[in-house]
Amino acid sequence: MKKKILVKGPAFSRSGYGEHTRFLLRSLRPHEENYDIYLINIPWGHTGFFTEETEFRAWMDSILQKTIEYGQSGGQFDLSAQVTIPNEWEKIAPINIGITAGIEVTKVSPQWLAKGNEVDKIIVVSEHAKQVYETSTCIARNEATGHEVNDYHCETSIEVIHYPVREFEEEKIEGFKLDYDFNFLAVAQWGPRKNLENTITWFLEEFKDEEVGLVVKANLAKDCIIDREILTQKVLSLVEPHKERKCKIYLLHGELKPEQMSWLYKHKKIKSMVSLTHGEGFGLPLFEAAYNGLPIVAPLWSGQVDFLRAPNKNGKLRPMIAKVGYTLQPVPPEVVWAGVIEEGTMWCYPHERDYKQQLREVYKNYPRFKSAASKLKKYVLKNFSHEEQHKLFAESVLEYLGGADVDKWLSEIFAEDTVLEHE
């Protein structure tokens, strides 16, 4: 009888959690003859939806319907892989694997520690996330006995499995034109953590008298007209104090297809990716920029550290970016989220002076940073490949499924006749 694997996550979301859910599904799909795959889709934040009418989307719809019917008949699962924040992990099956990316600060909440101890394994997407989860502690009290534990911590095994490189054919964004030959690019959902206000304002101050552009690909919550109008007004409010300027801001609103993003990263007039993020569980746009060979301006803290360094001649990992200095400080009150982001925990605050200096360095000495970006691209393509990440996932899951043959699993995944279509 086939083992039954349940994937629970925001499979239809454009978020990083959505991408990771689809990564797991793509990994499992070639093995439907050996395992029954099921899907519970959960809502996620204020991101857009994966709506493309592809064969892969049709397959997800089919296993979602199968899961509903199986659940109505009282069906049980052998293993669950749950892609969400730990607060939402459940004991659904005899074996439960919790998968999370959302560790953007310096400490996880007590609720995450407790939930982490209820699952059989935790998978995170960066070494930063693993280190924070493993070192976080709190004071816990046993309500039945009154006994207090001063260093309550997560005792569950934690593994790192990164997002894989995904390359797409390029598709031009119709109507998109740039006036200047040198432009920076910022990609983020508008919100406190992404710090787009300073990204834009400090750029305007640095290049007010020069023919340099900044392309901002962003949205607030949805890919809709009202969202675009609100975001446009936010950007205009930042630009308005700088009326007498040569530099330009270009707003690309809403969701773009992976093929369009690939074209954007490789646009001959887009020279560098910039980010003043306060923290990342992983940092998908920065990751995509890295394996597309774009020079990067960003702080070297949190999840992006894993892929923004590459070996030097001596084999030691060194930053291959224009590194922005930062200070660790408590998160602002407006981002405190009980049970997720606790008051007093910290994230990074990039320095204005450093950001401006690094923008200037990339602009003045572009060949040097392009050379570093090329080295980084080569390293990321090799070490974050689909093959490598599928291998790690296969080994992690198959540990619980009767000792199946990992080599056979991998050979099937990458056999020519099982290559999955692009989303």
pLDDT of the residue at 400: 83
Please give the pLDDT value at position 401: 77
> Structural domains in the chain?
3-164+385-418 (3.40.50), 183-383 (3.40.50.2000)
In SS3 terms, the chain reads as CCEEEEEEECCCECCHHHHHHHHHHHHHHHHCCCEEEEEEECCCCCCCECCCCCHHHHHHHHHHHHHHHHHHCCCCCCEEEEECCHHHCCCCCCEEEEEECCCCCCCCCHHHHHHHCCCCEEEECCHHHHHHHHHCCEEEECCCCCCEEEEECCCCCEEECCCCCCCCCCCCCCCCCCCCCCEEEEECCCCCCCCHHHHHHHHHHHCCCCCCEEEEEECCCCCCHHHHHHHHHHHHHHHHHHCCCCCEEEEEECCCCHHHHHHHHCCCCEEEEECCCCCCCCCHHHHHHHHCCCCEEEECCHHHHHHCEEECCCCCEEECCEEECEEEEECCHHHCECCCECCCCEEEEECHHHHHHHHHHHHHCHHHHHHHHHHHHHHHHHHCCHHHHHHHHHHHHHCCCCCCCHHHHHHHHCCHHHCCCCC
Q: Residue 418: pLDDT band by 50, 70, 90 thresholds?
A: very low
417 falls in which pLDDT band (50, 70, 90)?
A: very low
pLDDT at 409 > cutoff 70: no
In the Cβ-directed half-sphere of 232, how many Cα atoms lie within 13 Å? 10
Higher local confidence (pLDDT), 416 or 257: 257
* pLDDT value of position 421: 36
Least confident of 13-27, 247-261, 324-338: 13-27
Q: Return d(Cα 421, Cα 234) in angstroms, integer.
A: 38
Q: To 10 degrees, what angle do helices 406-413 and 386-398 make? A: 140
Least reliable range by pLDDT among 18-32, 86-100, 117-131 = 18-32
Pick from 122-126, 144-148, 158-162: least confident = 144-148
The whole-angstrom separation of Cα 328 and Cα 94 is 40
Residue 179: other Cβ atoms inside 10 A: 10
Mean pLDDT of 307-317: 93
In this structure, are residues 256 and 173 in contact, taking their beta carbons and an 8 Å threshold? yes
The answer to whether 82 and 8 are in contact (CB under 8 A) is yes
pLDDT at 133 over 80: yes
Residue 140, judged by CB atoms within 10 A of its CB (0-12, 13-18, 19+), counts as middle
User: What pLDDT is recorded for position 29?
Assistant: 86
Lowest pLDDT segment from 29-43, 120-134, 205-219: 29-43
Please tell me the least confidently modeled range out of 113-127, 245-259, 346-360, 379-393.
379-393
Confidence of residue 116 (pLDDT cuts 50, 70, 90): very high
| Residue 186 backbone zone (phi > 0: left; psi -120 to 50: alpha; other: beta) | beta
Taking 60 as the threshold, does the pLDDT of residue 416 lie above it? Answer: no
pLDDT one-digit tens code per residue, 262-281: 999 999 999 999 999 999 99
Give the residue carrying structure tokens 């954007």.
264
Strand pairing of 270-274 and 183-187? Answer: parallel
Give the confidence band of 47 by pLDDT, cuts at 50, 70, 90. low
pLDDT value of position 382: 94
The pLDDT value recorded for residue 268 is 97
- Region of poorest pLDDT, from 65-69, 104-108, 311-315, 376-380: 311-315
Q: Collect all residues with Cβ–Cβ distance below 8 Å to 407 and sequence separation of at least 6.
A: none
pLDDT at 255 (0 to 100): 84
Distant-in-sequence, close-in-space partners of 15: CB < 8 Å, separation ≥ 6? 44, 45, 47
* Lowest model confidence (mean pLDDT) among 63-72, 176-185, 222-231, 375-384: 222-231
Contact criterion met (CB below 8 Å) for 227 and 220? yes
pLDDT in tens, 69-110: 998 999 999 999 999 999 999 999 999 999 998 899 999 999
CA distances from 93 to 19, 59, 79, 87 (A): 23, 23, 5, 17
Q: How far apart are CA 284 and CA 269, in angstroms?
A: 22
Mean confidence (pLDDT) of the chain: 90
